[in-house]
């Protein structure tokens, strides 16, 4: 069942429209209708988007809204929306705002009381996750890691113990270094998936250990091209009634300076493990020390 009110663009509305990440057949009929009917389309790169619009015989005027001008243009576009204009926001590929411009425009529109209507469709991270074979019940999307190696490794160190499936975007010229850092910091045996050029002619979805993926990509320059999504299995967690060796080591350090209860509380905040389990283990460690 569809809502007829959504079939044609409403005056004074901002439509956030997902576009194909590769295969043009993934643009939905609803998205085509919206893009044809709104007064203007805000596009990340008008030259890139014009090719998509020409394929579907869409003649709606384009305005460039990208990371360099969005803060300046967004207030003006919102004023036009408040005056009754209809506008569609698209990115170069996939769902807008997901590692792409648009946040400031959407935020200002909502603050101004403008109706923001999503027109869902392709998203590289969801596409990759659905075909990865990794856990999908809990995952975290980190977008692009820092370009500088020191900052990248620092961010990965923060994510090392996360039990959720980790999803990253990475540029083709940094993919080798990124995989090498992941293998070193997460452990070469951690299971991972590289999804490249999704829905395109040279689509590749390869699952292996981080060490194997790092070696494979480093040895094959073809795998260092195109749009890349990396997915890494979450860090295995100890059984509920167990405390990992790393958490136990942390407890031992904290017990040198803190009472048992406070050491367990702080360890729970750092590791995400059960505070009661940590408290019981801290008591055991203290008893062994004092005994």
Residues pairing with 121 in the sheet? none
Residue 119 has pLDDT above 90, yes or no: yes
- 98 with 25: CB under 8 angstroms? no
In a 3-state reduction of DSSP, which class is residue 65? coil
Asked, for residue 262, whether it belongs to a domain, the answer is yes
Measure CA 170 to chain center: 11
Q: Name the residue with higher pLDDT: 140 or 10.
A: 140
- Show which of 77, 93, 122 is a domain's final residue: 122
Asked, for residue 4, whether it belongs to a domain, the answer is no
HSE-up of residue 265 (Cα within 13 Å, Cβ side) = 5
Can you give the pLDDT at residue 1? 46
- 233 with 162: CB under 8 angstroms? no
C-alpha torsion sign, points 247, 253, 259, 262: negative
**Mean pLDDT, residues 10-17 taken together:** 93
| pLDDT band of 291, cuts 50, 70, 90 | low
User: Does 96 share its domain with 182?
Assistant: no
| pLDDT band of 280, cuts 50, 70, 90 | confident
CATH number of the domain bearing residue 185: 3.30.950.10
User: Does 40 share its domain with 64?
Assistant: yes
Asked, for residue 238, whether it belongs to a domain, the answer is no
| pLDDT band of 282, cuts 50, 70, 90 | confident
pLDDT digit string, tens, across residues 128-159 = 999 999 999 999 999 999 999 999 999 999 99
How far CA 183 is from CA of 72, 103, 156, 232, in Å, comes to 41, 33, 11, 10
In a 3-state reduction of DSSP, which class is residue 260? helix
Share of the chain above pLDDT 70, in %: 95
Q: Give the list of residues 6+ apart from residue 74 with CB closer than 8 angstroms, or none.
A: 65, 104, 105, 108
Can you give the pLDDT at residue 268? 87
pLDDT digit string, tens, across residues 166-178 = 999 999 999 999 9
Cα separation, 117 vs 106, whole angstroms: 10
**Mean pLDDT, residues 253-279 taken together:** 87
Give the strand pairing for 204-209 and 62-64: unpaired
Residue 240 has phi, psi (to 5 degrees) of -55, -35
Torsion of CA 77, 121, 94, 117, to 10 degrees: 20
What is the DSSP-derived secondary structure letter of residue 207?
A: E
Asked, for residue 240, whether it belongs to a domain, the answer is no
How many separate domains does the chain show?
3
Question: Residue 270 sits in which domain range?
Answer: 245-290
Asked, for residue 2, whether it belongs to a domain, the answer is no
User: Does 215 share its domain with 249?
Assistant: no
Asked, for residue 3, whether it belongs to a domain, the answer is no
User: Does 103 share its domain with 156?
Assistant: no
User: Does 25 share its domain with 89?
Assistant: yes
**Mean pLDDT, residues 66-77 taken together:** 95
Number of H helices, E strands in the chain: 11, 10
pLDDT digit string, tens, across residues 82-109 = 999 999 999 999 999 999 999 999 999 9
**Residue 191, H or E segment:** strand 191-196
Cα separation, 61 vs 37, whole angstroms: 11
User: Does 129 share its domain with 118?
Assistant: no
**Mean pLDDT, residues 194-215 taken together:** 97
Q: Give the list of residues 6+ apart from residue 93 with CB closer than 8 angstroms, or none.
A: 19, 20, 21, 22, 122, 124, 227
Can you give the pLDDT at residue 220? 95
Cα separation, 183 vs 178, whole angstroms: 9
List alpha helices for the chain, DSSP H: 29-37, 46-55, 70-82, 103-111, 124-132, 149-159, 175-186, 210-219, 245-255, 260-271, 275-290
């Amino acid at each position: 069942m569809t809502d007829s009110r959504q079939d044609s663009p409403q005056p004074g509305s901002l439509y956030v429209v997902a576009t194909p990440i590769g295969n043009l057949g993934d643009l939905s009929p609803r998205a085509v209708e919206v893009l044809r009917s709104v007064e203007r389309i805000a596009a990340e790169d008008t030259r890139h988007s014009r090719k998509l619009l020409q394929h579907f015989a869409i003649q709606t005027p384009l305005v460039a809204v990208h990371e360099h001008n969005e803060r300046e243009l967004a207030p003006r576009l919102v004023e036009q929306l408040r005056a009754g204009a209809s506008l569609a926001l698209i990115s170069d590929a996939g769902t807008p705002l997901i590692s792409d411009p648009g946040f400031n425009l959407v935020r200002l529109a909502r603050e101004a009381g403008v109706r923001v209507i999503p027109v869902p469709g392709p998203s590289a991270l969801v596409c990759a996750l659905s075909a990865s074979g990794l856990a999908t019940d809990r995952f975290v999307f980190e977008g692009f890691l820092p370009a500088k190696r020191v900052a990248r490794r620092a961010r990965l160190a923060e994510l090392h113990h996360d039990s959720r499936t980790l999803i990253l975007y990475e540029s083709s010229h940094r993919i080798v270094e990124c995989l090498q850092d992941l293998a070193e910091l997460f452990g070469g045996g951690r299971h991972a998936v590289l999804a490249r050029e999704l829905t395109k002619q040279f689509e590749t979805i390869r699952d292996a250990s981080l060490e194997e993926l790092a070696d494979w990509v480093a040895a094959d320059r073809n795998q260092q091209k195109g749009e890349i999504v990396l997915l890494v299995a979450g860090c295995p967690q100890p059984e509920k009634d167990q405390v990992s060796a790393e958490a136990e080591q942390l407890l031992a350090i904290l017990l040198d300076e803190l009472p048992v209860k406070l050491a367990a509380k702080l360890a729970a905040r750092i590791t995400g493990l059960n505070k009661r389990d940590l408290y019981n283990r801290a008591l055991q460690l203290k008893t062994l020390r004092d005994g």
